[in-house]
């Protein structure tokens, strides 16, 4: 957290397993104190899957849900990130009902819920229209959509659709990373091991950012780069290099087009 703040970051995301470890070691109160002391104010907690399910899948999901809700309240998280990874059975109508319940629980803890749009390889809602049917159908002001430029690309979603279909009343979150335009043969491996830092690949990050800004978004931008080579870097280097590269890409995106 100190390295992230020194590099220039004002936000941070926490995976549920890390939150469980932090709860057992330093506790959420101390975690919050460290975040506040370092000016980390835009906080994400993740990942919740199976919130729409039943049986043991739902039981395991509910344990993670309880942890994420507790953490979100304790450290002032902006949102909880969720999706429907591997869902093949639960219809949209049921998902809308369950999403509304989840949003109500999150509202009681003072946080939001963002559903991340994923490609059809991973999700039953692989389009803006389907995800917006979920979030708008739930009727929760604190329920919205997480837009990751990688998944926008892999779902073949035009940037113009972001501007045309999202409204100022849609709650939005934004994540960026880079990579190659050609779809990798091993798509899952490319998602979890081969993402690139912003500016190191071929993605049109500037076009994506201009679209979300044109749609009315003015919130934080997350950097989600899962890459095997980055895992060998020390924390300070990772924070400094990732912030520098991301900041350069965002500044370029803000430059008016000729």
Q: Where are the extended beta strands (E) located within 102-203?
A: 112-116, 143-148, 171-176
Instruction: Give the pLDDT of residue 250.
Output: 98
Q: Is the peptide bond between 129 and the residue preceding it cis, with omega within 30 degrees of 0?
A: no
pLDDT at 212: 97
Q: What is the mean pLDDT of residues 219-237?
A: 93
pLDDT in tens, 8-42: 999 999 999 999 999 999 999 999 999 999 999 99
Question: How much is the average pLDDT of 69-89?
Answer: 96
The residue count for the chain: 258
CATH pick for 2-251 out of 3.40.50.720, 3.40.50.2300, 3.50.50.60, 3.20.20.150:
3.20.20.150
Average of per-residue pLDDT across 83-91: 91
Of 113 and 226, the structure prediction assigns the larger pLDDT to 113
What is the spatial distance between Cα 75 and Cα 31, in angstroms, rounded to a whole number?
A: 7
- What's the pLDDT at 193? 79
pLDDT of residue 192: 86
Q: How far does the chain reach from its first CA to its final CA, in angstroms?
A: 39
Using one digit for the tens of pLDDT, what is the confidence trace for 211-222? 999 999 999 999
How far apart, in whole angstroms, are the C-alpha atoms of residue 163 and residue 214?
Answer: 6
Average pLDDT of the residues of the chain: 96
How far apart CA 189 and CA 101 sit, in angstroms, is 33
pLDDT digits (tens, 9 = 90+) for 128-143: 999 999 999 999 999 9
The whole-angstrom separation of Cα 135 and Cα 113 is 9
C-alpha span between 39 and 41 (Å, rounded):
6
Which among 38, 22, 40 is positioned nearest to 30, based on CA atoms?
22
């Amino acid at each position: 957290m100190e390295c992230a703040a020194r590099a220039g970051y004002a936000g941070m995301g926490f995976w549920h397993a890390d939150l469980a470890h932090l709860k057992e070691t330093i506790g959420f109160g101390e975690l919050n104190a460290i975040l506040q002391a370092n000016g980390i104010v835009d906080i994400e907690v993740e990942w919740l899957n199976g919130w729409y399910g039943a049986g043991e899948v739902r039981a395991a999901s509910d344990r993670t849900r309880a942890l994420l809700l507790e953490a979100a309240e304790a450290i002032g998280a902006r949102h909880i990130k969720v999706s429907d990874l591997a869902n093949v059975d639960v219809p949209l109508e049921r998902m809308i009902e369950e999403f509304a319940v989840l949003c109500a629980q999150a509202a009681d803890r003072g946080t939001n819920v963002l559903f991340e749009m994923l490609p059809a390889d991973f999700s039953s809602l692989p389009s803006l229209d389907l995800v917006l049917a979920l979030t708008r159908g739930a009727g929760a002001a604190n329920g919205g959509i997480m837009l990751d430029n990688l998944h926008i690309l892999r779902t073949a979603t035009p940037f113009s659709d972001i501007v045309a279909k999202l409204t100022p009343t849609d709650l939005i979150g934004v994540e960026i990373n880079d990579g190659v335009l050609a779809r990798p043969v091993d798509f899952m491996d490319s998602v979890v091991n081969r993402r690139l830092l912003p500016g190191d690949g071929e993605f049109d990050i500037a076009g994506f950012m201009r679209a979300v800004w044109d749609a009315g978004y003015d919130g934080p931008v997350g950097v989600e780069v899962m890459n095997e080579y980055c895992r060998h870097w020390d924390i300070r280097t990772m924070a400094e290099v990732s912030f520098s590269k991301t900041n350069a890409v965002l500044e370029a995106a803000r430059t008016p087009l000729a």
